[in-house]
Amino acid sequence: MYHYDETDKAIVHARVKQFRGQTERFLAGQLSEDDFRPLRLQNGLYIQRHAPMLRIAIPYGMLSSTQLRALASVTQKYDRGTGHFTTRQNLQLNWVALPEVPNILEDLANVEMHAIQTSGNCIRNITTDHFAGVAADEIADPRPWAEVLRQWSTFHPEFAYLPRKFKIAISGTTEDRTAIRVHDVGLQIVKNDAGEIGFTVYAGGGLGRTPLIGQKMIDFLPWQHLLTYTEALVRVYNRYGRRDNPYKARIKILVKALGSDEFSRQVAEEWAHIKDGPNTLTAEEVARVAKQFSAPSYDQFTAADLASIAAQKNEQASDKAFARWLERNVHAHKVPGYAAVTLSLKTPGVAPGDATVAQMQTAADLADEYSFGELRVAHEQNLVLSDVPQKDLYAVWQKAKAAGLASANIGLLADMIVCPGGDFCSLANAKSLPIAAAIHERFSDLDYLFDIGELALNISGCMNSCGHHHLGAIGILGVDKHGEEWYQITLGGAQGNAARIGEVIGRSFAATEIPDVIERMITTYLALRQEDESFGEAVARLGLPPFREAAYRKNETAGEPAHV
Amino acid sequence: MSKQLIKDGQLIADDNWQTVLIGDDATADDAAALVIPAGRVVIPAAVWLAQRNNLLTRTEHLHDIAVSLAPTFRVEDIAHDVHRFALIAVEFPKFIDGRGYSTARLLRERYAYQGELRAVGNIGRDQLFYLRRVGFNAFLLPPEQNAEAALQSLNDFPEVYQGAVDQPLPLFRRRTA
């Protein structure tokens, strides 16, 4: 992974000093709340319901074991012992004290981490595939490009006060795992006939109040022009994006208003002026960064080794619990004899995405012992060990299980994406965690979950859509009706290459109704599905009516005590 | 009165430019009708455009006229005239409105403007580093701001990643191996 040189270190430490000064001026009354707000937001600091919330950047989801231990230590020292991993691959702490934040940032800077631009109307953390570098279907590793973009966007002087936040995601695989089409800018790595790397650029995607799928700007942007083209695009947005209404200020609204042809024409016109300028990338720089993402020193396994590993695995898989974990939480790796492992942060009874200090430490230990000391954060709010020898899978499973990190539910209904919701977030209209807990409780039987199969269930506590509810095969959105919390359901959303925004099925439900509603729709799916058809595929084939009918059908459980 | 103008890294005591304003809802007719006083005066760019032919005849005083660009003003519309101005002011009615940053870069990088480029309005020390990077060399801080203390923030960072006006070369073209 990328390691800071002296300049990178100096810049991050200068940021700590700058923010310490700003915090001191605020606490001394020399800086008003209005003037301080954008400054603290650009350091990831929100003022929330209970205490300030600090969002720590995990650039493109990559962590060393040292960094994860530092996150554990910060969580222990300044918070209440639990951190929350987000859909933007970051970590949030919900109980920090404002005067201590500069000290937290100092601790983080010592391990090459920060909270720079994790909030505010600026270019946010660049996200990518949590299997980057190990995926079998990879065209090229997206991480060097993500790092190049991270440096370009860090303290970009022109783009610190954009109309609204700006999120970039980059995918290096044929199957998009990074939701690039619902980002302000989505970059898909492609190769041309000559084998040269370039990017298909999408812009104007986003969730929130007006969910839209990103539009293609350019088919093949040669890699040298990544920064100048992006700069031209963000400049057009900075100049012409709406600033009169925060709900209409994202780039997607501008792209929609102008039409994607006109918007891309304006970008091309702007780009013509700066193309081939000094910000044009050099092969030397790309090589310098790419070198730091070179493959670890994998063991070479002979065919005989691999056969015996497979035999051993088959034998161990007679343990049904292990077999299930292998099926759901272990993923193909491009190197024979290796696998990627997801450490589930979706254990029933625990808020999705939450990890305790002890779990972070265990994950760091596992990374050191079995995965070259590195981890990833998945945007589905789990941790990933990307390079585990298959011969060690059983040992990893046992240790992960002991730490509560081995729920065999990745990709299943229980692997919900959930925002912190009204329990913590001051923007939320409704709580999301109790809804997730009630669903976990209702669908606690693993046989049942496996029978239902792959199903993305995403929950957001408000229209800001941090829980990506639009992209869930089942989406749940918290809404406020006359001061009461209600939940709207969408069906048929999907991420990936066939990204699709889910459709609202009808009037919203009370919290207590949700588990029954979900269960009735699942029962309908099980009755109607064709062989190997997932819930999402069944919705695509059958349309909403059978599910809507099920959702609103009164059944015998109505009136029973709530599960919430 | 305390010194509120920073120029080229120094506090400046006497700012001998007078600013003439028109309201936000001013029409083209208002812009055309505005009476421009003698002396060094900053006028809205819209007024410059409305009275351009007339103002160009004031050749001996032309250098006494500067323009001020509102956030919505398209800098392209005065591109051909920028060489005539000794001062261009860019307005920041709210510091969170960042359009002026792009305006400044275009003035310097695309239209080769060489004169004083002044950020005015609701700006403070925490914006100065970025403002300087995009090409501003002068900053008129509001009266409640401590301009002397603000000077320190011009040097908040020892290095920068991306090329801009103050340092056209991105760090990756300057890193020593």
Q: Provide the CB-side half-sphere exposure for A229 (13 A, CA).
A: 23
A418 has pLDDT over 70: yes
List, for residues A478-489, the tens digit of each pLDDT value.
Answer: 999 998 999 999
Of B97, B110, B131, the CB nearest to A273: B110
pLDDT, averaged across chain A: 94
Is B77 touching A (CB cutoff 8 A)? Answer: no
Is B144 touching A (CB cutoff 8 A)? Answer: no
A561 has pLDDT over 80: no
How far is the C-alpha of A557 from the C-alpha of B13, rounded, in Å? 79
Q: How many percent of chain A have pLDDT more than 90?
A: 90
How far is the C-alpha of A188 from the C-alpha of A173, rounded, in Å? 8
> A490: buried, middle or exposed (CB in 10 Å: 19+, 13-18, 0-12)?
buried
Q: Could A156 and B156 be called an inter-chain contact, meaning their C-beta atoms sit closer than 8 Å?
A: no
Are the folds of A6-109 and A134-289 the same? no
Q: Could B126 and A35 be called an inter-chain contact, meaning their C-beta atoms sit closer than 8 Å?
A: yes
Give the residue extent of every domain in chain B: 5-173
A471 close to A490: Cβ distance less than 8 angstroms: no
Which tokens sit at A267? 């970008």
| Distance spanning both ends of chain A, measured CA to CA | 43
Q: Indicate the pTM of the whole model.
A: 0.94
Report the SS3 class of residue A509.
strand
Q: Could A157 and B162 be called an inter-chain contact, meaning their C-beta atoms sit closer than 8 Å?
A: yes
How far is the C-alpha of A556 from the C-alpha of A519, rounded, in Å? 13
Q: Could B162 and A152 be called an inter-chain contact, meaning their C-beta atoms sit closer than 8 Å?
A: yes
The CATH number of A303-400 is 3.90.480.20
Q: Could B98 and A35 be called an inter-chain contact, meaning their C-beta atoms sit closer than 8 Å?
A: no
A406 close to A400: Cβ distance less than 8 angstroms: yes
Of B158, B162, B172, the CB nearest to A14: B158
Of B124, B153, B173, the CB nearest to A35: B124
Which tokens sit at A236? 């057009």
Strands (E), A394-483: 417-418, 457-460, 474-481
List, for residues B19-33, the tens digit of each pLDDT value.
Answer: 998 877 888 888 888
Residue of A239, A270, A273 to mutate for B, most B C-beta atoms under 10 A? A239
How far is the C-alpha of A385 from the C-alpha of A547, rounded, in Å? 37
Q: Could A38 and B105 be called an inter-chain contact, meaning their C-beta atoms sit closer than 8 Å?
A: no
List, for residues A281-318, the tens digit of each pLDDT value.
Answer: 999 999 999 999 999 999 999 999 999 999 999 999 99
Q: Could B159 and A7 be called an inter-chain contact, meaning their C-beta atoms sit closer than 8 Å?
A: yes
Q: Which fold has domain A134-289?
A: Sulfite Reductase Hemoprotein; domain 1 (3.30.413)
Query: pLDDT at position B2, please?
Result: 66
Question: b/e string for B75-87 if b means 16 or more Cβ within 10 A?
Answer: beebeebbebbeb
List, for residues A423-436, the tens digit of each pLDDT value.
Answer: 888 888 999 999 99
Q: Which fold has domain B5-173?
A: TIM Barrel (3.20.20)
Confidence tier at B3 by pLDDT (50, 70, 90): confident
Report the Cα A470 to chain-centroid distance in Å: 14
Q: Which fold has domain A417-552?
A: Sulfite Reductase Hemoprotein; domain 1 (3.30.413)
Domain covering A6-109 assigned CATH 3.40.630.30 in the classification? no
DSSP result, A356-415 = EHHHHHHHHHHHHHHSTTEEEE-TTS-EEEEEEEGGGHHHHHHHHHHTT---S-TTBTTS
Bridge pairing between strands A62-64 and A374-377: antiparallel
How far is the C-alpha of A254 from the C-alpha of A265, rounded, in Å? 13
A376 close to A382: Cβ distance less than 8 angstroms: no
List, for residues A183-200, the tens digit of each pLDDT value.
Answer: 999 999 999 999 999 999
Report ipTM for this prediction. 0.96
Give the residue extent of every domain in chain A: 6-109, 134-289, 303-400, 417-552
- Per-residue pLDDT, averaged over A386-402, amounts to 98
List, for residues A505-559, the tens digit of each pLDDT value.
Answer: 999 999 999 999 999 999 999 999 999 999 999 999 999 999 999 999 975 454 4
Residue of B172, B174, B175, B176 to mutate for A, most A C-beta atoms under 10 A? B172
